[in-house]
A and B are shown apart, each in its own frame.
Chain A
Amino acid sequence: DTGVSQNPRHKITKRGQNVTFRCDPISEHNRLYWYRQTLGQGPEFLTYFQNEAQLEKSRLLSDRFSAERPKGSFSTLEIQRTEQGDSAMYLCASSRGTRGGTEAFFGQGTRLTVV
């Protein structure tokens, strides 16, 4: 499968624990996005990387959230001190381009449940 890959697919964690998710984008894509989707809602933008540079972060991304994309390849999203409100599907997407909107390809997501 040469599409966007996310791991793990599911994660159950206790409140207060830290979790890390990984996204492997399509190899030639320079753009990488993280979105969060809760039940019955559309995906909400969290953060954007162009190559290895994190160029935009949403106000939704509290200081408990951090994302990296070392070497401009895979990306990780870490949530520290998880809260029940963090329970959601975390989607990664990648695309090509440097200006404006272009077709974004989504991964299957990591479903996080905080108990």
Chain B
Amino acid sequence: GENVEQHPSTLSVQEGDSAVIKCTYSDSASNYFPWYKQELGKRPQLIIDIRSNVGEKKDQRIAVTLNKTAKHFSLHITETQPEDSAVYFCAASSSRSNTGKLIFGQGTTLQVKP
């Protein structure tokens, strides 16, 4: 069935360093890959997304890369700041069902130490 694996489960970096979170997906028909940030007690919020016809997308300090052949995609955060501390979820949506439903990874807790 559809599955998304996310690593690492926790990540601790010093302020100013880069952080990388990796996800792999099982459904080769997946074509939409969003990343959500969830702060404690708050709703998940979209920070960046990428479609399968694009290999890389960047938005200021955040970038996402997609390797369709290997079925994996990664989130890169540069120049991390304490306010980047949160849980990050990757997700994938497949063209098979056409509903746009998201299959989420297990989440990565990012801690940015000042």
Chain A interface (Cβ < 8 Å from any Cβ of B): 4, 31, 33, 35, 40-45, 48, 50, 55-56, 91, 95, 97-109
Query: Residue B43 at the A interface, CB < 8 A?
Result: yes
Can you list 29 contacts pairing A with B, beta carbon distance less than 8 Å? A31-B100, A33-B100, A35-B102, A40-B106, A42-B6, A42-B91, A42-B105, A42-B107, A43-B44, A43-B102, A43-B104, A44-B104, A48-B101, A56-B99, A95-B100, A97-B100, A99-B98, A100-B31, A100-B93, A101-B34, A101-B51, A101-B93, A101-B102, A102-B100, A103-B49, A104-B34, A104-B46, A106-B36, A109-B43
Complex Cα distance, B98 from A55, in Å, reads 10
CA distance A27 to B105 in the complex (A): 29
Q: Does B45 contact A (CB under 8 A)?
A: yes
Residues of A with C-beta under 8 A to B106: 40-42
CB proximity of A106 to chain B, nearest CB, Å:
4
Contact pick for B43, options A55, A56, A100, A108, CB 8 Å: A108
Given contacts A101-B102, A102-B100, 15 further A-B contacts (CB under 8 A): A4-B43, A31-B99, A42-B107, A48-B101, A55-B99, A56-B97, A56-B99, A91-B43, A91-B44, A98-B98, A100-B31, A101-B93, A101-B100, A104-B100, A106-B44
Please tell me which one of the listed residues A100, A104, A105, A109 contacts residue B98 in the complex, with CB atoms under 8 A apart: A100
B42 interface contact, C-beta 8 A: yes
Majority SS at the chain A contact face: loop
Q: How far apart are the CA atoms of A105 and B36 in the complex, in Å? A: 10
**Hey, what's the 0/1 contact readout for B23-45 against A, CB within 8 Å counting as 1?**
00000000110101000001111
A34 to B74, CA, bound (A): 26
Please give me the residue from chain A that is nearest to B92 by CB atom. Answer: A101
Q: Name the A residues within 8 Å of B104 (CB-CB).
A: 42-44
A91 CA to B45 CA in the complex, in Å? Answer: 12
Question: What residues on B are CB-neighbors of A50 within 8 Å?
Answer: 99
B103 to chain A, nearest CB (A): 7
Nearest opposing residue in chain B for A97, CB measure = B100
Q: Which residues of A contact B98 (CB under 8 A)?
A: 98-100
Q: Is the CB of A45 within 8 A of B101?
A: yes
